[in-house]
Structure 1
């Protein structure tokens, strides 16, 4: 069959890419087939996500939801089999109203050409998932700090959210996300045992904070230790346009079966400073601080109270 077509560009437009081809007719009962297969299986796996041509720098998204047909498929398969794993292949945060009904959710981003064997190893337990969320997944689209990128009538787009974006925005508004920044699960049984904070003996850093990790005998695994710094003020940092806490450091470590590891994370003056627009530099924010040793932004293992003086040193001021 011969097909002739003509394409023209007018004005300043340009083509970033074009695909042309044919495909057979898609059966209308694919969802029903999937539900029947899931109902008969011990475990169901649903692959969802977006295509490369629908995730472009030049194309803003109007919603964080998956295509309606995919969301409907996930809902129906989860209802048919409670042991359903949803694998999401997307490069950005998504709305997941079905997450609580799935046995597990694996966010794989855009992993590259070794995706197939790597995914098989993670799903079968041969390898750890290992990752932690670099974004916050909200329960509702409206919970995000920015819900529209449309400019004003004067073609201006104001970034009024300031520094309160991501997990900082959710902290400021006391909103509970679906999955918080830094969240992630693993197969290994890794226990957090003892937290500590002390001066850096080398003098290169302000202090060192850390934890001792212990791993069960069955298998080793990866853990990500995170440290957040939170200024303790009378009225709350968010009311002054500053985050209530910020990530000050982290360390990703592998703990072997039956092994115990001590993890040190250095803290510097910069971690307790704010940008001074008058001087064009970082200025220590004197006062009481809380150092949070955590598994994620919402899962804190231990808290330390310290006092930072105007010189950017851990002083002898009030820490209670």
Structure 2
């Protein structure tokens, strides 16, 4: 097996060299069995005291990625960054590895994931929107030089997307694995004392290799006296399962988990009524749901 490397010259630095390296990249990719594209953002883009003006990858990386995918569909997109980006080529890409800023051992981690020595188990802690205009802060808020109005209220991040039934590019909590997991046997039990509700379920590894899974619990307050987001994350647990192994998980929800902040009373308030517990792999991939009616005093 032969591996080829080429350098990327940003278009703003040397246009002639940029054009030459662009052609070299496509020529190498066309003859390769597979391509690993490494790009993304740097601290020239992600830094304090300066906002990004758009969600596009800098330096015409999207143009190169689209061209690489055309000449070699077996191109793996590996991106570094600290904030979401648009991916206009996502429908043509078979796989994307998002590395954040992984530090000095990031290269070793990426190699182990790409070549199968380890199974991915990370989850997105933010929503990746399809566009900047879709982001609630930009769609609902008003930001001026001397005054900003954060009118999105509680509709922040995934709460906005779930409440408004908008499918983002990648949802909060999203992450893939080299195996498959099955969720079953969700049971809810009204508790006593601090535990208002106890939720139990079984998670089974139905794939062929050991891997870690992040099980997420979201709560829905069906009817409240004030506006509530459709769902809110109330708990998660990361487990490791061998092929065929099943593990039972238990989540305890307290009265505080069922509460909202009452601005008039200046205190947390839990109201009686119906709540729905959702269990899944992300804020949109909810595998199990069950309701319970609680009498809260």
The two structures have a TM-score, normalised by structure 2, of: 0.88
SS at match of 1:53: coil
Contact 2:205–2:246 (CA under 8 A) maintained in structure 1: yes
1:54 equivalent to 2:40? Answer no
1:81-96 correspondence to structure 2 within 5 Å? 81-96=72-87
SS at match of 1:71: helix
Match for residue 212 of structure 1 among 202, 211, 234: 202
Q: Relative to 1, partners in 2 of residues 1:63 and 1:36: Cα closer, same or farther, differing over 3 Å?
A: same
1:103-118 correspondence to structure 2 within 5 Å? 103-118=94-109
> Cα offset for 1:150?
7.5
Aligned to 2:217: 227
Aligned to 1:247: 233
Distance 1:150 1:62 in 2: 15
Distance 2:190 2:118 in 1: 37
Partner deviation per Cα, 1:3-51 (whole Å, 9 max, x = no partner): xxxxxxxxxxxxxxxxxxx99x945321222222222222211112112
Aligned to 2:160: 169
Aligned to 1:141: 132
Q: CA RMSD in A?
A: 2.3
Distance 2:18 2:124 in 1: 36
> Cα offset for 1:147?
2.3
Distance 1:37 1:200 in 2: 62
Aligned to 1:278: 264
- Residue ranges of structure 1 left out of the alignment (5+ in a row): 1-21, 312-320
1:258 equivalent to 2:244? Answer yes
Aligned to 2:111: 120
SS at match of 1:206: strand
> Cα offset for 1:217?
6.5
Match for residue 144 of structure 2 among 149, 152, 157: 152
SS at match of 2:274: strand
Partner deviation per Cα, 1:146-166 (whole Å, 9 max, x = no partner): 22888436x111111111011
Partner deviation per Cα, 1:199-255 (whole Å, 9 max, x = no partner): 458x5422221321222473110111111111223xxx7x95421111111111111
Aligned to 1:309: 295
Q: Relative to 1, partners in 2 of residues 1:37 and 1:310: Cα closer, same or farther, differing over 3 Å?
A: same
Largest Rg, 1 or 2: 1
SS at match of 1:100: coil
Aligned to 2:122: 131
Contact 1:273–1:284 (CA under 8 A) maintained in structure 2: yes
Aligned to 2:254: 268
Distance 1:217 1:84 in 2: 25
Q: Relative to 1, partners in 2 of residues 1:29 and 1:150: Cα closer, same or farther, differing over 3 Å?
A: farther
> Cα offset for 1:270?
1.5
